[in-house]
Chain A
Amino acid sequence: MIMYQKHILAIWLFLGLGSTWSWANDIEIRTSGFATLGFIDNSSDSLGFHPNLKVPSQTGFSFKTDTLVGGQVNVAFNSDWEAVGQVVLRDRVDKDALNYVEMAFLRRNLGKNWAIRAGRMNTDLYFLSEYQSVGYAYLWARPPVEFYSGVSSISQVDGADILYKTRLDTGFLQFRMAYGATEVKLQTSGGDPTIEFDDLFTVSTIYHANDWELRASYLRVPTEAFTGSIFDQLDVAIAQVPSVFWPEAEEINNQLDFVGKKADFYGLGYKIENDTWMFQTELAYLKSNWVAQADNYSGYVSVGYQLADWTLYGIAAKIKPTEATFTLPASTPPPGTPETLIAMINAIESASNQELEEARQSQTTYSLGVRWNVNAKLVAKIQWDNTRVDASNYGFWIADTVPDSASRINVISGNISVVF
């Protein structure tokens, strides 16, 4: 963790070389903020719903899931230098103070086409990735969980990025690369793991012309550290069995270990809108070499129809693994292995295979909602989500006992969002 903080300091010093800062009258300070007061009504009393893995799940009725307030300061030192800081207060799994800092970076503009930032930034992986907490800024009461829940675990990066932008034909092109690290604490049915990702790299490109926008993004994220998950407990349990009685144990431990594994995320998105209609779709492919994270496709299609200050919208979203659940290689205890050990090995195998099954995400949601532009700074939304979760694939839900059959769950979300 210390390494990348030194890198950030080096980048800031580099940005400062050869530049003259003009203080006094040129400094402009702008403060702004946003807030959402929201509720959910989850039809399930046993399956906890959360919009992403960094927010605690809730059953039944709750104001905690979506309610938040954010504050931001922009300090423009001159036309070349700007600092931005943003804090978002909301219910989080990880209540460490630094986690409420959503952004804190220094930007250096290099002419009209280039910009470099260093500090904490949002990863630019999908349409809402940089403003998902700002309900005022987008159509839905809730972004599709199938697409946004998993990848928003990597919503921030502590590091640096470089941006290139230019007019291209009748449109505008932006290209961004970012490098750094991040640490997240998530809530899953298999515990609340803390994961450190180092050597994180993202690249994104956006082209928008007239009323439409096309984007593509890639993320590579290797795991540096992983603690607090049920897989840690399984690791400890496996280590208690002498390897002579469980020859496959070392291989199993290697496969269950998240450290040193990596994931690759590929995203595509397109949206178009006019005075009346708005259409938006995104598709992603996640590839992981960790057995507990199955490769998957996720995506959604959203259509909205606007009439004066009201917009009616519908969403269809899906996530589906592309491979069968990984199961541990069957143990082959040698003759003479004590019965108690065989029972222990079988129990660990069973628990591991169950955990691998329950970590999968496979579900489909159909949503209907309406947004009302109350005035220039206030919007109200209400949305109904009907989700079918495939048997045992409850990776997005929190439960003491995960059902082994499919479930259909309704979640009603309502919120008012304001900017100031």
Chain B
Amino acid sequence: MKGIFLSSLLFLLSGICQADALVVVVNKDNPVDALSKTQVIDIFMGRYITFPDGNPVKPFDLGAELDVKRKFYQRLVNKDLAKINSYWARLLFSGRASPPESVDSMKLLLARVSDTKGALAYLPEASVDESVKVVYRLE
């Protein structure tokens, strides 16, 4: 009985964790198969504009899904959205870099990643479909 209870609890927890898990994805035809956390940070924080193989990268933000966006940056660089917004204001208005393009829905995001060879985006793992490829999983 106890074993069944524990197994059920673990199954339930894994479901919750998966629902809460965020992944970074690219176009399924992108030759990049994996990125490190450092490489993801360098792209989403505007330091590099190419993938490690030298191909141009186009990052996307989930604009309307603020909870997902908040969790992504908290896990990636441990900063809240207010600090991320200030950071990007500094980069944008100093002319150094532009922030990721903001997309208003998960459905539109998947469409943009499918259409854009150099796309890089984040979304809940549960939203991943066959049109994209996972290259990093945020713990």
Question: Which residues of A are in contact with B by a Cβ distance under 8 Å?
Answer: 30, 32, 34, 70, 72, 74, 76, 78-79, 84, 86, 103, 105, 107, 109, 111-112, 117, 121-122, 130-131, 133-134, 136-138, 165, 167, 172, 211, 273, 275, 309, 373, 376-377, 419
Evaluate contact between B90 and A130: CB separation under 8 angstroms: yes
Evaluate contact between A105 and B89: CB separation under 8 angstroms: no
| Given known A-B contacts A112-B48, A165-B47, A34 and B89 have beta carbons under 8 A apart | yes
Segment 54-111 of B: residues with Cβ below 8 Å from A = 54, 56, 78, 80-83, 85-86, 89-90, 92-96, 98
- In the assembled complex, which residues on chain A have CB atoms less than 8 Å from the CB atom of B33? none
- In the assembled complex, which residues on chain B have CB atoms less than 8 Å from the CB atom of A273? 83
Evaluate contact between A373 and B82: CB separation under 8 angstroms: yes
Evaluate contact between A376 and B92: CB separation under 8 angstroms: no
Evaluate contact between A134 and B89: CB separation under 8 angstroms: yes
- In the assembled complex, which residues on chain B have CB atoms less than 8 Å from the CB atom of A84? 95
Closest chain A CB from B97 CB (angstroms)? 10
Contact partner, A309, options B78, B82, B94, Cβ 8 Å? B82
| Given known A-B contacts A165-B47, A167-B42, A376-B81, A138 and B86 have beta carbons under 8 A apart | yes
Q: B49 contacts the other chain (Cβ, under 8 Å)?
A: yes
Label chain A's interface by main secondary structure: strand
Report how far A136 CA is from B82 CA in the complex, Å.
10
Q: B18 contacts the other chain (Cβ, under 8 Å)?
A: no
Report how far A419 CA is from B80 CA in the complex, Å.
18
Evaluate contact between B81 and A131: CB separation under 8 angstroms: no
Evaluate contact between A30 and B94: CB separation under 8 angstroms: no
- In the assembled complex, which residues on chain B have CB atoms less than 8 Å from the CB atom of A309? 82
Q: How many contacts A-B (CB < 8 Å)?
A: 75
Evaluate contact between A111 and B47: CB separation under 8 angstroms: no
- In the assembled complex, which residues on chain B have CB atoms less than 8 Å from the CB atom of A133? 93
Evaluate contact between B49 and A109: CB separation under 8 angstroms: yes
Closest chain B CB from A195 CB (angstroms)? 24
Report how far A210 CA is from B54 CA in the complex, Å.
25
- In the assembled complex, which residues on chain A have CB atoms less than 8 Å from the CB atom of B85? 136, 376-377, 419
Evaluate contact between B50 and A111: CB separation under 8 angstroms: yes
Report how far A165 CA is from B96 CA in the complex, Å.
12
Closest chain B CB from A363 CB (angstroms)? 28
Contact partner, A130, options B38, B96, B118, Cβ 8 Å? B96
Closest to B95 in A: A84
Report how far A109 CA is from B86 CA in the complex, Å.
24
Closest to B86 in A: A137
Report how far A86 CA is from B56 CA in the complex, Å.
25
Contact partner, B89, options A136, A211, A373, Cβ 8 Å? A136
Closest to B96 in A: A130
Closest chain B CB from A278 CB (angstroms)? 9
Evaluate contact between B93 and A79: CB separation under 8 angstroms: no
Evaluate contact between B50 and A105: CB separation under 8 angstroms: no
Evaluate contact between A130 and B42: CB separation under 8 angstroms: no
Evaluate contact between A86 and B95: CB separation under 8 angstroms: yes
Additional A-B contact list (18), CB under 8 Å, known A136-B89, A137-B86: A32-B92, A74-B92, A74-B95, A74-B98, A76-B98, A84-B95, A109-B49, A112-B49, A121-B95, A130-B95, A131-B90, A134-B90, A165-B47, A167-B38, A167-B42, A172-B47, A376-B82, A377-B85
Report how far A138 CA is from B118 CA in the complex, Å.
32
- In the assembled complex, which residues on chain B have CB atoms less than 8 Å from the CB atom of A78? 56
Closest chain A CB from B115 CB (angstroms)? 12
Evaluate contact between A32 and B49: CB separation under 8 angstroms: no
- In the assembled complex, which residues on chain B have CB atoms less than 8 Å from the CB atom of A136? 85-86, 89
Evaluate contact between A131 and B82: CB separation under 8 angstroms: no
Report how far A74 CA is from B92 CA in the complex, Å.
9
Closest chain B CB from A83 CB (angstroms)? 10
9 A-B residue pairs with Cβ-Cβ distance under 8 Å, sorted by A, are A79-B118, A86-B93, A107-B95, A122-B94, A130-B94, A130-B95, A130-B96, A133-B93, A376-B82
- In the assembled complex, which residues on chain A have CB atoms less than 8 Å from the CB atom of B81? 376
Closest to A72 in B: B93
Interface centre among A130, A131, A134, A165, by most chain B C-beta atoms within 10 angstroms, is A131
Evaluate contact between A172 and B42: CB separation under 8 angstroms: yes
Report how far A377 CA is from B42 CA in the complex, Å.
24
Evaluate contact between B89 and A137: CB separation under 8 angstroms: yes
